A and B are shown apart, each in its own frame.
Chain A
Amino acid sequence: KQEVTQIPAALSVPEGENLVLNCSFTDSAIYNLQWFRQDPGKGLTSLLLIQSSQREQTSGRLNASLDKSSGRSTLYIAASQPGDSATYLCAVRPGSGGGADGLTFGKGTHLIIQP
Chain B
Amino acid sequence: DAGVIQSPRHEVTEMGQEVTLRCKPISGHDYLFWYRQTMMRGLELLIYFNNNVPIDDSGMPEDRFSAKMPNASFSTLKIQPSEPRDSAVYFCASSRRGGGDTQYFGPGTRLTVL
Contact = CB atoms under 8 A, between A and B. Distances in A.
Contacts of B44: 105
Interface string A77-97: 000000000000101010000
B23 to A, nearest CB: 12
A100 B31 CA distance: 12
Contacts of B95: 101
Nearest to A94: B99
B50 interface: yes
A46 interface: yes
Given A44-B105, A46-B102, A46-B103, A99 B91 contact: no
Interface residues of A, number: 26
A45 B58 CA distance: 25
Contact of A99 (B58, B103, B110): B58
Interface in B1-59: 4, 31, 33, 35, 42-45, 48, 50, 55-56, 58-59
26 contacts: A31-B99, A32-B100, A36-B105, A41-B110, A42-B108, A43-B4, A43-B106, A44-B93, A44-B105, A46-B102, A99-B55, A99-B56, A99-B58, A100-B99, A101-B33, A101-B48, A101-B50, A101-B95, A101-B98, A102-B48, A103-B103, A104-B45, A105-B42, A105-B43, A105-B44, A106-B42
Interface of A: 31-32, 34, 36, 41-46, 49, 51, 89, 91, 93, 98-108
